[in-house]
Copies of this chain bind each other. A is one copy, B any other.
Amino acid sequence: MSKKLTKRSDDYSKWYNELVNKADLAENSAVRGCMVIKPYGYAIWEKMQAELDKKFKETGHQNAYFPLFVPKSLFEAEEKNAEGFAKECAVVTHYRLKNNPDQPGKLMVDPEAKLEEELVVRPTSEAIIWSTYKNWIQSYRDLPIKINQWANVVRWEMRTRLFLRTTEFLWQEGHTAHASRQEALDETLLINDIYANFAQNFMAIPVIKGVKSESERFAGAEETYCIEALMQDGKALQAGTSHFLGQNFAKAFDVKYATREGGLEHVWASSWGVSTRLMGALIMTHSDDSGLVLPPNLAPIQVVIVPIYKGEEQLAEIAKVAHEIKEQLQELGVSVKFDDRDNVKPGFKFNDYELKGVPLRIAIGPKDLEKNQVELARRDTLSKSFVPKDKLAQMIPNLLNEIQEVLFNKAEKFRDEHITEADNFDAFKEILNSKGGFVSAHWDGTSETEDQIKKATKATIRCIPYISELENGSCVFSGKPSAQRVLFAKAY
């Protein structure tokens, strides 16, 4: 804990890994590619969950739970989806272990307990859910179905990084069924808006809403909408996706409904998700060389009070004031911790709460008691000031709101400064090599061009933004005509 973090400018990736560990967010487990989300990290995830869950419910969605396993025959039903995930599936083949006769005390897979049909650990739940919806949907009266589930999923990733890419991760996945193309599309877009508002207003992460190019589309979707964020190192991060599935899964699982007019039609669908990857986005949007910086909305501890004292008598006097302040603030809905541990020095505590991104720190020493003041430190600016004790209750809720806003504005400014137009491929490459960020460029709309650009620069099309003004131009790579700029970037 005492050792400083690597600086971002020295090694961004190392800084990230150290921060995740030292701020007690998560760590690698004994299982390849799977992480342990530690209590402090999980408390942040719980705040995201609570807010999103509220938004989903307010818009008419209900939670449910579907099985962890997908029988292989269901998994392969929607061909594109199966193809997209087949290469990264954990597969259950047996249902029993037995004692290993050659190694006493050790176990082995019991060959007699081989499953007739293998089970895939869900990488995503469209298959199992649509095989269920088939039984729930007969008529237009059964529609829409708007269900979300909070679950773990498994995708066998070869190269993993805490939160950003792990073999198992936690997420929510929404799966909706509709009587019309338009309704399913409206749902897809509604959710992308919910994601964008959540990222911006709750996590203070500016995002760009857009649609994915074909090669970045979800396997099995007709169209994938997304929110894209920009990290401090100039790389983009896909923060959430909402898929318009058309009738693909309804056709694969033969899900039809009797229309109001007496016909029989395949059902229309959407699916959408955000995951613990958002923790990575959070970290890499706001944090600095001193550690995590948390928007107050997401901070498990919004204010920490640290006593500066010598001897028990001083501590008792400070504690009295600290508890007063704590109670006052808690009544206002602020979460406060009074850290009176006696086995570590104040300086250690200061560092620790900086690492952990606690938005405000109050320090109280004997002189402060005399002067009826406290020292108030902001995590975002690392600035300190003395504040009359009696003003805290009035000041702190406003200050927390201000910090939330300042963090968003700062990140937005950074993001906006890192959207650069390129009108030829040399400029395009130069931008990626020097400042990074999003490159706004014309593209001829073909996967071939996208692929060649990727090979040459490692940049991919992050999204075709919603609100990009139509502007005739020529593709930055092929020179062919284009009607809209799209955003390229190297990405997590």
Contacts and interface: CB of A to CB of B under 8 A. Distances in A.
Interface of A: 27, 29-31, 34-39, 42-43, 46, 62-72, 74-76, 79, 82, 86-99, 105-107, 109, 118-121, 128, 131-132, 135, 141, 147, 151-152, 154, 156, 168, 170, 343
Contact of A67 (B31, B72, B76, B141): B31
Given A42-B65, A64-B36, A96-B87, A107 B31 contact: no
A46 B30 contact: no
Contacts of A109: 91, 93, 118
A168 B195 CA distance: 30
A73 B57 CA distance: 43
Contact of A107 (B64, B68, B86, B132): B86
Contacts of A75: 97, 107
A36 to B, nearest CB: 5
Contacts of A27: 132, 135
Sorted nearest first, the 8 A-B pairs with minimum C-beta distance are A39-B62, A34-B67, A37-B65, A86-B97, A95-B156, A91-B94, A31-B67, A93-B93
B69 A132 contact: no
Instruction: Tell me the interface secondary structure of chain A in the complex.
Output: mixed
Given A27-B132, A31-B69, A109-B118, 8 more contacts: A31-B71, A39-B63, A39-B147, A68-B168, A69-B90, A72-B97, A87-B98, A152-B152
Residue among A43, A65, A92 facing the most chain B CB atoms (10 A cut-off)? A65
Copies of this chain in the oligomer: 2
Contacts of A36: 64-67, 132
13 contacts: A31-B67, A36-B65, A39-B63, A39-B147, A42-B63, A68-B121, A76-B106, A86-B96, A87-B96, A91-B109, A92-B93, A95-B156, A141-B343
A348 to B, nearest CB: 13
Contacts of A128: 29-31
A97 B118 CA distance: 10
A122 B239 CA distance: 29
B93 A91 contact: yes
Contacts of A74: 30
Given A68-B168, A70-B31, A82-B107, A121 B92 contact: yes
Contacts of A97: 72, 75, 82, 86-87, 89, 91, 120
A107 B154 CA distance: 18
A63 B91 contact: no
Contacts of A95: 88-91, 156
Residue among A43, A70, A119, A120 facing the most chain B CB atoms (10 A cut-off)? A119
A141 B70 CA distance: 44
Contacts of A120: 97
B68 A86 contact: no
A181 to B, nearest CB: 24
Contacts of A69: 31, 34, 90, 168
A76 B105 CA distance: 8
A30 B71 contact: yes
A403 B280 CA distance: 47
A63 to B, nearest CB: 5
A75 B106 CA distance: 10
A215 B410 CA distance: 62
A405 to B, nearest CB: 29
A43 B62 contact: yes
A88 B46 CA distance: 32
A368 B94 CA distance: 63
A443 B164 CA distance: 57
B29 A96 contact: no
Contacts of A71: 30-31
Contacts of A79: 105
Contacts of A35: 67
A336 to B, nearest CB: 15
Contacts of A68: 34, 68, 121, 152, 154, 168
Nearest to A121: B92
A70 B36 CA distance: 12
B66 A43 contact: no
